[in-house]
Amino acid sequence: MTGAPPLAGIKVLEFAGLAPGPFAGMLLADAGASILRVDRAIDGQTHTPGQTPPATEDMLTRHKSSVAVNLKEPAGVALVKRLAARADVIIDPFRPGVLEKLGLGPDELLRLNPRLVYGRMTGFRRDGKYKAMAGHDINYLAVSGALSLLGRDGEKPHPPWNILADFAGGGAVLFQGVLLALMARHTTGRGQVVEANMVDGASYLSTFPRMALKTPLGDRGRGRNMLDGGCPWYDTYETKDGGYMSVGALEPQFFKLLIQGLGLGGQGWEENRFDEARWPELKALFEATFKSRTRAEWEAVFDGTDACCTPVLGYPELETEEGREGDMRPSVTLRETPCLGVKKGSAAADAATVGQGAGVEGEGYKGFTLGAGEGGEERLREWAGWTLGRDYEVNKGGLVLKEKSRL
C-alpha cells in the first residue's frame, strides 16, 4: 500500500513567471506540494463574475492553482504577506529587486515566517558582471562555458533548445536547493534564502566535460573527442528511410557486437579502432552501412543485444506507438510514497512506477495553461479557511485583504 506523495502538506507560493520558475514549481507539485501561483490582476477579467480567467503563457501548470492579486494596492501586498506567513516555500522568478520594491523580499517575509524557504532564481549571477543585464538560456550557457562544448567539429557552438540552462541548470537546481533547505529546517527549525542562477547551474552540470578538457578524453577541441561526435562509434547515423540510429559502443566487447551486427566483421576494425588517423574512414563506412537499411531493419538487428545501438525516437512516435517507453512518468520512483501521476488512468497497483492519482490533461505531451485566478479561491479555503467577502475581496480584478478581516 502506497502512502501520500513525499511533499504532501508543503505549501508553495509561486510568483508567476516563465520556464525555470514554473518548472521548479511543477517539480514540487509533482511530488505532492500544494502550489498556489500569484498572477497579475487584470481589471474586469480576473476574479470577475461571468468572465473566464485569461490564460497565461505558462504551460508548466499541472497540479497547480492560481490567484490574481492586485499588488498595486497595499491590501494586495498584505494578502500575499498573510499567505507567506502560512507557506513553507516562496518561488521568486524575477530579476533582483522586484519583490523587494513591493515589500515582499526575503528579509520582510522571513521576519513574518522564520520557517519560510525563500527560493529565488536569476539567469546571471546576482553578484556577477552581467547581473543587471537581460538574458536567455543561450546567454547563460555562453558565459558559463558550457556552450563552448556543444557542436560539431568545424561548426559554431550550437545550443540544445533551452534544456541545459533554463530547466536543468535553473529550475531543477532551484528545486534541489529548496529540498535541501527543507531538510535543513528539520534540524534548525528555520527557513532560509535559496539562491540559484542558471550560469552556475549549467556550469556545475558541465563538471565532468570541463575536467575532461585537461585529459585525453576531451582535449582535442569541440566535436573531435570521444563523447562529442569525434569518435565513429559514439555518434548518430542516418538510415535508408531518413531515420537515425545512435551508437555508443565504447567498450571493446560492445564494439565487437556492433561490428558483427553491421556485417563488418573480419576487416580488422576491432584491433584498429583506436587509430585516429582511420576514424574518418570508419565513420564513412558506418554512414554508408547504416544508409543501406531502414531504421526498423536496424532495430531488428540490434534490439536485445549489447551493441549499444538504438533508434533515435521522436516524441510524436513515443506518444502514439504502443510498446515504446513513451508514457510520461515521475522523474524518480519512490516505492513507498510515489509522486503524482502524469499519464491519465494510472493503475493504483503501479503507482510506485507511474505515479499515483488520475493523471493530468495532455499527459505530459501537450501543455495546458492555467487561467489567472483559476482554482485559487478553493486553494485559499484549503490553506487558511478564507472565503471571498469575509476575509478578502476583489479590487480591480485582483484579490486584496479586507480592511477589517478577522485573519
Catalytic pick from 166, 200, 228, 391?
Answer: 166
For the question of residue 166 being annotated catalytic, the response is yes
Return the bridge partners of 258, or none: none
Catalytic residues: 166
